[in-house]
Every structure is written in structure tokens, then in C-alpha cells.
Homo-oligomer: A and B are copies of this chain.
Amino acid sequence: MPNISRKAVRMPESPIRKLAPYAEQAKALGKTVFHLNIGQPDIETPSVALDAIKNMDRTVIEYSHSAGFQSYRDRLAVYYRGIGIDVSSEDIIITTGGSEALTFGFMATCDPDDEVIIPEPFYANYNGFAVSAGLNVVPVTASIEDGFALPPVEEIEKKITDKTKAIVICNPGNPTGYLYSQEELEKLREIVLKHDVFLFADEVYREFCYDGAKPFSVMNLKGIENNVIMIDSVSKRYSMCGARIGALVSKNADVMSSVLKFGQARLSPPTVDQIAAEAALDTPQSYFDEVVEEYVERRNIMVEGLNNIPGVFCPKPSGAFYCVARFPVDSTENFCQWLLEEFDHEGDTVMMAPASGFYSSEGKGSDEARIAYVLNKEALRKAVVCLEEALKVYPGRTSSFISADS
């Protein structure tokens, strides 16, 4: 029997999905599991998108162009210009989710053993895309005490070697919910310009900014137009994660023609889903206003709830729908598994994603977990109660501080 590849051995399991068997066991035992582990919103997909699917009048579900339907690329360019990002359809290639956009972007710019610098904690699947492309992630650790702000420029520059090909950010951030300021992004611009590396920015959460904060796109950083590659997706914006429609956006013509070659090899992104994504561009602003209002309330329930639990600390995010919290436990790997295997509070328990999978540095984030506040408010309140009760009895609790009523 032949061996699998070394690449397959290196490929990380998803920290978001690997506890799934324990969740299934818990459900089989009759427990209610609140899924805070995965960014699958319960928000309805806009009706314009659903209607476009139902009313599709094609009799053959054909391939589209490898770069995506021209009509969709044209309209997507209009959407970007409407939010102040000056691009044309030539600067856009439609991909099968943001995942494929980043994979193609890595393949087009980096060779095996090249390095990409990423502030950690970062979206765990970046590790998977890096392994697929054969390149090495070099982390720069952001601090939970600073709310996961951009690490100091000198810390980033220290990591640059002659193998560094790119810096990767996610803004607003998954898993941290941190929104980089224009000032922070201008600092990144200087590094990118000085060392002439690529700058990837995953901006799929841009519609989810709170408390009056406004996202600033890397596409608007001056003088590094040929270095910048923006990753986008309809998954979160329109709550259509299962559509698998994303985009890679760049002014760099060499990058675009290279990415198109990778796109040609896989033929095309899905057709029906592109039709839905194009229709979704007609989603009224009121949809987003309501969604943002809902997420602010959810965030407040979750973050305030967590910070009220003795020994727990959670910085307040201003974007996306995640937060990373620190728990007074031996290991969140153990704690999250224990929550599913051993614990329930009145039949309820909670599934979270241990944060270690969002760090590249060995051992970092072992007492942190990522929480997606994508459930309704009632469920989130119950989830907070669960966590509070769980920490009263979890055998691996480390903090000496025990709440008054325990």
C-alpha cells in the first residue's frame, strides 16, 4: 500500500470542524449543542438571491467563463466602485469561494518554501491553503490584551527574509473581530513598499463593522497597486456560505493572468451560484442595516456575558461576527471536548473552536477559544450561562478566582 504524501501529513485538521464527532455524540445523547464553533450565520439569504435560483430559466447548466460570468464581473465592479474601490471587471476573477481565491493567489505568487507573514491568531484555513501551495507561514503574534491590534511594525519587519513573498491580513478579522484602522494599514503599506512583497487582504467581512467604524480597503493604499491582492466572498455578506462564490481582485496584470490559468484548469466557478450572487447585488441597504443591528446586539450579549464570567477575558470586537476569549482553563482543546463529552446544563452545552488552531506558533492560544456569535440572542444567552456553569465544575480550571455563588 503506497504512502500518502508528506503534504497530507502536514495538512492540519480544521480546528473548527474536528470536534464535530463529539458534538454528534452529545446530540445523540439528547443534548442541545449551541454551535459557536463555525461562522455559519442563521440570517436568511436575501430573497432576491433565492428568487434568482428559483426562477432560473436555463435548460442546460453550462460552464461559465473561467473568470466568471462577464455580467457578474461587470456588476461586481459597480458594487466595488459604490464602496469607493475603483476597479473594473478586468481586475476581478470570480472564484469558488474566498478559499479558492486565496489558494490561487498563493499559487500565483509563491513557490514551495517561500514565506508569508500573517498576524496570529488568523483564520485557521490559511494554514491549509499554505500547505496546499507548499509555502511556510511565518506568524507575528498579536496580543489579546491589545484586542489583537496590528503588531508593531518592527515586529513584522523582523520576520522578513529573502524568502518572504507576502503579508496576509484579514480585515475585519476572523477570528479576532478586530478592524484595522487606516493608520495601521498605512504602516503595512510602508513595509510592503520597502520590501516589495505582496499584500493579501481578506475583506469578506467588510459589511460587518460596528459602532460607527468604517472599513478601509487595501485597494485604496496608494503606490502599492501592483502588490495588493484582495480576497472577497459572498458567503457572509449575503449569508450564502453554501454558494461558494468568491473573488480575487487585483490591479496586477501578471497576477491576474496567472490566476486565470489556475482558473482555467478547474474550468469555472458554479453557474447557478453565480446567478444567485449577481442577483444578491440588488439586496437593499435595509437588509444590511438590520443584520448589523442584530449582530451588534449579539456581540454585546456574548462579549459582556463572557467578561462577566469570573476569570474570562474577551476584547470587544468592532467587526465580523467572531471574538476570541481567554478562559481560566488548562487547555481549551480539553475544555471544548469536555463541554461536549462530559457536561450539560439543563440539557444544553456549547461547541467552541479551540484557538490553538488559529495560531501558527506552537503552544500559543492554548487557553483561548474562538466564538462565532451567529446564533439568535436567546441561544447566545443560554450559551453564556452554560459556559459560566461549566467553568464552575470543569476539572481543568486553573484560575484560583472562583465566582461567589459556586
Q: Give chain A's interface residues, CB within 8 Å of chain B.
A: 1-2, 4-9, 11-14, 16-17, 38, 40-45, 49-50, 53-56, 58-64, 66, 96-97, 99-100, 103, 107-112, 114, 125, 127-129, 132, 134, 165-166, 196-198, 226-227, 239-244, 252, 254-255, 258, 261-262, 264-273, 276
Contacts and interface: CB of A to CB of B under 8 A. Distances in A.
A50 B272 CA distance: 10
A258 B8 contact: yes
A242 B61 CA distance: 5
A34 to B, nearest CB: 16
B265 A242 contact: no
B62 A40 contact: yes
A252 B44 contact: no
- Within the oligomer, what is the number of copies of this chain? 2
Contacts of A268: 241-242, 244
A387 to B, nearest CB: 24
Contacts of A226: 1-2
Contacts of A132: 107, 262, 265
A40 B64 CA distance: 10
Given A99-B265, A242-B268, A4 B54 contact: no
B111 A5 contact: yes
B242 A270 contact: yes
A41 B14 CA distance: 37
Contacts of A198: 2
Contact of A262 (B17, B108, B128, B266): B128
B244 A270 contact: yes
Contacts of A103: 266
| List of 9 A-B pairs having minimum Cβ-Cβ separation, nearest first | A128-B265, A242-B271, A8-B258, A14-B264, A61-B240, A99-B266, A1-B226, A11-B261, A244-B270
Given A112-B112, A262-B132, A265-B11, A241 B4 contact: no
A108 B258 contact: no
Contact of A258 (B11, B41, B111, B129): B11
